């Protein structure tokens, strides 16, 4: 059973503005909110789901083990080395992608490190549009590459650590505040 989630209204999220004095709807900048930067440096990892972890160069027992969720090596697909306050696992028919703290990645795992995480405030309504497009456009205009993730409640944007300040500056120019 999942715990109850308290959703904030669009007004509480800062994503809706009341009508103007003449009753007309007002256009809202989709980037008019406060983002946060998560602590730490992260890595984006890739494992091949077709051939298993043998292609990663790390022995099976080193990659798959027990986790905070109580899963064990006998439950395939969940790497025990993934831990920390922020991580994501996505599986397709071709790969298993993992985002996790960089220090968690064992040697031999194909990965690209040096990412920092920007968090969009949530929870966000599924009816909202343009948030990720506005963020990615602002960063693309500044020449900053991103790796984007979305959850049920919100969005996360990963930028290379050496581009973090440039990313924050680019988003601030578009109306984003940072905590």
Q: What is the DSSP letter of 55?
A: G
Low-confidence ranges of the chain (pLDDT < 50): 1-20, 24-28, 51-75
Residues 15-61 pLDDT 10s: 444 444 555 444 445 566 789 999 999 999 998 775 444 444 444 33
- The pairing of beta strand 177-178 with beta strand 34-37: parallel
Q: Parse the chain into domains and list their residue ranges.
A: 45-100
Radius of gyration of the chain (CA): 19
- 3-class DSSP string for 104-133: HCCCCCCEEEEEEEEECCCCCCCCCCCHHH
3-state secondary structure of 138: helix
Contact yes or no for 122/153 (Cβ under 8 A) = yes
pLDDT at 17: 42
- Is-above-0.75 flag for pTM? no
């Amino acid at each position: 059973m999942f715990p109850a989630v308290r959703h904030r209204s669009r007004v509480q999220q800062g994503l809706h503005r009341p009508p103007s004095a003449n009753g007309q709807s007002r256009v809202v900048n989709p980037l008019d909110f406060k983002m946060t930067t998560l602590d730490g440096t992260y890595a984006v990892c890739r494992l091949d789901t077709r051939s298993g972890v043998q292609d990663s160069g790390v022995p099976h027992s080193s990659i798959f083990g027990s986790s905070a969720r109580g899963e064990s090596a006998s439950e395939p697909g969940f790497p025990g080395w993934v831990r920390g306050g922020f991580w994501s696992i996505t599986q397709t028919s071709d790969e298993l992608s993992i985002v996790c703290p960089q220090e968690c990645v064992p040697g031999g795992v194909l990965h690209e490190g040096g990412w920092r995480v920007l968090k969009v405030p949530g929870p966000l309504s599924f009816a909202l549009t343009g948030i990720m497009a506005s963020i990615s456009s602002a960063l693309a205009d500044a020449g900053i590459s991103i790796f984007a993730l979305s959850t049920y409640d919100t969005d996360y944007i990963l930028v290379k650590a050496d581009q973090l300040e440039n990313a924050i500056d680019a988003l601030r120019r578009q109306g984003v505040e940072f905590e």
